[in-house]
Amino acid sequence: MSFFKRLKESISNKTEAVTKQFKDGLEKTRKGLVEKVSDLVIRRKKIDEEFYEELEEILIGADVGVSTVMNLIEDLRVEVKKRRIEDAAELQPVLSEKLTELLRGDENNELRMNPDGITVILFVGVNGVGKTTTIGKLAHRFKQQGKKVMMAAGDTFRAGAIEQLEVWGERAGVEVIKQQAGSDPAAVMFDAVQAAKQRGVDVLLCDTAGRLQNKTNLMEELNKIFRVIQREIPGAPHEVLMVLDATTGQNALQQAKLFGEKSGVTGLVLTKLDGTAKGGIVVAIRQELNLPVKLVGLGEKIDDLQPFDSEQFVHALFAGLIQQVEEEESADQA
């Protein structure tokens, strides 16, 4: 069975709505990456040195990451020799198979939940990446699953951050624990944990500052928050999710490297994937950081935050090709 056929079968038992969200959300990347590869295949037909060079340029242009691209091209060379592939068109399913392998990784990318008691999820990341929006959308998602959710407005330094979280609280029908702007974030977390215990909350989602206006070191502030949460709920936080803006490409990767090393990040959230042609950054991040991508933002709507699924991702990218392969197979059978 061909790779595309296997991919389609494994997707077929997943929700149609989610498949559509991935397809719609990755439309720009599909045009920037897969359609360029298809165009290259049609133009060149033969696999030679120039073909590899152009393919390399396309992949780097989609922000797959230089070292990842070099390894990928090397893998493709090996496969071409091993399978004795001469026609460039035969390389497309091999490329998609390799991308799926690169994205899959060994980790389980499901959110870690506390089996007995409150699950605490802490969100970190610089300002402007869509952190507060992500928290609001995740609150809505948990609420839809029947969980009792609460949010903590721990970003007390950015103007308007508390109000922004409150707007999301109203939308999702979730209580927000807050103090005045400029308050101590650790004190907000203490209040939030106490309130969550009293109200029998299942999930507590905590916002944190992306930058501090005073001289306090951001990592010191985060460590203080960690200590307060751990003291009140042993084993918490259960996830520390770093939110990255996919439209910033390699810049997001650098942020993750700098921030992630020091703040105990357990997983990543990539927002605004629908707004970029450089969705290959998911592959680069997955390869260069030993961290799973747990959630992706695929649009503006409240339910457009989805758990990351490597098969959905690749299927969405190669949707046009899969259809083409199916039509060709049907024509051959007829």
Q: Which residue has the tokens 């030993």?
A: 290
- What's phi and psi for 309, nearest 5 deg? -135, 110
- How far apart CA 209 and CA 98 sit, in angstroms, is 38
Outline which parts of the chain fall under CATH 1.20.120.140: 12-107+315-333
Calculate the alpha carbon distances from 102 to 69, 295, 318 in Å.
Answer: 11, 17, 16
* Strands 175-177 vs 149-153: parallel, antiparallel or unpaired: parallel
297 is in an annotated binding site: no
* Strands 293-297 vs 305-307: parallel, antiparallel or unpaired: antiparallel
191 is in an annotated binding site: no
Residue 219 and residue 210 in contact, taking contact as beta carbons nearer than 8 Å: no
CATH class of 12-107+315-333: mainly alpha
273 is in an annotated binding site: yes
31 is in an annotated binding site: no
Q: State the pTM of this model.
A: 0.89
Calculate the alpha carbon distances from 93 to 2, 19, 48, 84, 297 in Å.
Answer: 8, 19, 18, 14, 26
pLDDT at 334: 57
pLDDT at 287: 84
208 is in an annotated binding site: yes
Outline which parts of the chain fall under CATH 3.40.50.300: 119-309
pLDDT at 324: 61
What tokens does 75 get?
A: 């893998």
130 is in an annotated binding site: yes
Kindly give the parts of the chain with pLDDT less than 70.
1-4, 12-13, 105-107, 212-216, 260-262, 320-334
Q: Is the dihedral of CA 168, 305, 131, 31 positive or negative?
A: negative
125 is in an annotated binding site: yes
132 is in an annotated binding site: yes
- How far apart CA 26 and CA 28 sit, in angstroms, is 6
Residue 294 and residue 141 in contact, taking contact as beta carbons nearer than 8 Å: no
272 is in an annotated binding site: yes
pLDDT at 260: 67
CATH of 119-309 among 3.50.50.60, 3.30.1490.190, 3.40.50.300, 3.90.480.20:
3.40.50.300
253 is in an annotated binding site: no
131 is in an annotated binding site: yes
- How far apart CA 208 and CA 189 sit, in angstroms, is 10
